[in-house]
């Protein structure tokens, strides 16, 4: 078996020594090449070239941004059923995709699970979301949540660590400074009336939406790798209704997706298991995929891609 380990050397929770140990362990099961990302987008290039070259497994060691780049590189190779399997070793601060798969959040423990799966030959197919021409593994957003991601990235470029406290401060700052302005977002789904006057849109490919430390945050609790895309949209960002929504998102939810209840409220729109829809904005809005800020957009087409990728887990 041939494998590529894509390493983000700036991953926040792994050291050079840990990376060497993990690479050595993976070499016990495959002929392994190691590629280090040198710039934003480099993970895409490494994964695409590996897929085109016939590699069997690509292992991503890094955070959700690294995983997103690797996934997009694998899909860009257009190998169809011959697309390499993906394995993920968590190395970021949040690691939503890894935890949504049910893998341990620590690198050594996750590697142990991956090695056992490789020996048994076990894997699973997961769906992906597609936003225009870019795939995402767990979430996308337009409006407030994406603007918060932008603030966090700006803080990290200034040397701040990505912590739950940083996200909380960024959220409060964004909301009270400019987050309550009406951006005029519309969701268009074939066969239904457009949903107009939305203030923020969160799209999920699985649950949870994200984590606050160890605590999962559920915007669309029924979202699953085995169904289409789910949407939670806020129709207003008034303080009482927004606090009510946040409280529900933080509330405990059962492990079984079928037992989870939707977030409810007069200013909330919920959609479950969508195959395709378009989001339009009256003015350009902040846009994020898998926790990475991608600039501002006026229109994004979202598509669910069932069973798109084989994951070792």
CA distance 195 to 175: 23
Residue 62, pLDDT score:
95
How high is the pLDDT of residue 172? 75
The pLDDT value recorded for residue 176 is: 76
Mean pLDDT of successive 10-residue segments in the chain (313 residues)?
A: 95 86 95 96 97 97 96 96 96 93 94 96 97 98 92 83 76 71 87 92 95 87 96 83 75 58 82 97 96 96 98 96
**210 to each of 76, 204, 206, how far by Cα in Å?**
26, 10, 10
Q: In whole angstroms, what is the distance from residue 158 CA to residue 6 CA?
A: 26
| Percent helix, strand and coil across the chain, each to the nearest 5 | 35, 35, 35
Q: How many CA atoms lie within 13 A of 281 on its CB side?
A: 21
Q: State the residue for tokens 């919920």.
A: 270
Position 258 scores a pLDDT of: 55
What integer pLDDT is reported at residue 53 of this predicted model?
95
> Which of left, alpha, beta for 167 (phi over 0: left; psi -120 to 50: alpha)?
alpha
pLDDT at 181: 66
């Amino acid at each position: 078996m041939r494998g590529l380990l894509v390493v983000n050397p700036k991953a926040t929770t792994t050291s050079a020594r840990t990376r060497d140990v993990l690479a050595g362990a993976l070499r016990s099961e495959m002929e392994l090449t190691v590629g280090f990302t040198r710039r934003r987008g480099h993970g895409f290039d490494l994964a695409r070239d590996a897929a085109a070259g016939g590699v069997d497994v690509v292992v991503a060691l890094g955070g959700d941004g690294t995983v997103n780049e690797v996934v997009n590189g694998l899909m860009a190779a257009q190998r169809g059923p011959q697309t390499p399997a993906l394995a993920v070793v968590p190395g970021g601060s949040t690691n939503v995709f890894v935890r949504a798969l049910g893998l341990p959040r620590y690198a050594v423990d996750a590697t142990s699970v991956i090695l056992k799966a490789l020996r048994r030959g076990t894997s699973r197919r997961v769906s992906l979301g597609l936003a225009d021409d870019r795939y995402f593994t767990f979430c996308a957003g337009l409006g407030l949540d994406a603007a918060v991601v932008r603030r966090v990235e700006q803080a990290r470029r200034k040397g701040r660590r990505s912590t739950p406290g940083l996200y909380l401060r960024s959220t409060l700052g964004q909301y009270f400074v400019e987050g309550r302005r009406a951006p005029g977002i519309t969701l268009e789904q074939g066969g239904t009336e457009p949903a107009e006057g939305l203030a923020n849109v969160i799209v999920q490919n699985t649950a949870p939406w994200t984590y606050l430390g160890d605590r999962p945050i559920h915007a669309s609790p029924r979202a699953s790798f085995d169904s289409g895309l789910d949407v939670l949209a806020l129709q207003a960002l008034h303080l009482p209704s927004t606090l009510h929504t946040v409280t529900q998102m933080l509330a405990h939810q059962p492990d079984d997706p079928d037992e989870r209840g939707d977030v409810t409220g007069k200013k909330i729109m919920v959609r479950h298991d969508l195959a395709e829809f378009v989001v339009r904005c009256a003015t350009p809005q902040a846009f994020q995929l898998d926790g990475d800020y991608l600039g501002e957009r006026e229109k994004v087409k979202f598509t669910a891609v069932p069973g798109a990728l084989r994951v070792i887990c």
